[in-house]
Amino acid sequence: MWFLFIVGLLCGYFMIAWTPTVEPFVLEVFLTDIIFDPLKTFFALVSFFIGFISNAILIRSATWHTLQAWRKETTNRKEQFLSYSVLLTFFILSMIDVKKTIIFFLFSFAYGMMSMNVYKERES
């Protein structure tokens, strides 16, 4: 779980750092920045993909542990605590760039909830 926390945080940071920032947002300038720096764009996309998968696993685990605690089932407290560390990841990343962090969180949350059924079946 610590590994997923560190990977999610680092990949989120790299995604934010390597994605061009255009203020105020102009689509043409944004696309031009992406096209003329393809290596940085590729690394930003890879970081985004790896980061949102690792954060989705933590979100799914945190949701599962919360449901178990709600039903008063036994849970692994250490794993439960570590899965809640995903909130710290999004808090730290939101201090860097709020808009990119919101997009990162929405993708992570959506994928984590979509894979919840598979995780529940595997755990049972």
pLDDT digits (tens, 9 = 90+) for 93-110: 999 999 999 999 999 999
Q: What does the alpha-carbon distance between residue 20 and residue 41 come to, in Å, rounded to a whole number?
A: 8
Residue in this structure with the two tokens 């542990």, named with its chain if needed: 65
Which pLDDT tens digit goes with each residue over 26-77?
A: 888 888 888 898 999 999 999 999 999 999 999 998 988 888 888 888 878 8
Contact assessment for residue 58 and residue 1, using Cβ atoms and an 8 Å cutoff: yes
Residue count (the chain): 124
Residue 93 has a CB neighbour count (10 Å cut-off) of: 23
- Report how far apart, in Å, the C-alpha atoms of 109 and of each of 5, 72, 84 are: 15, 24, 13
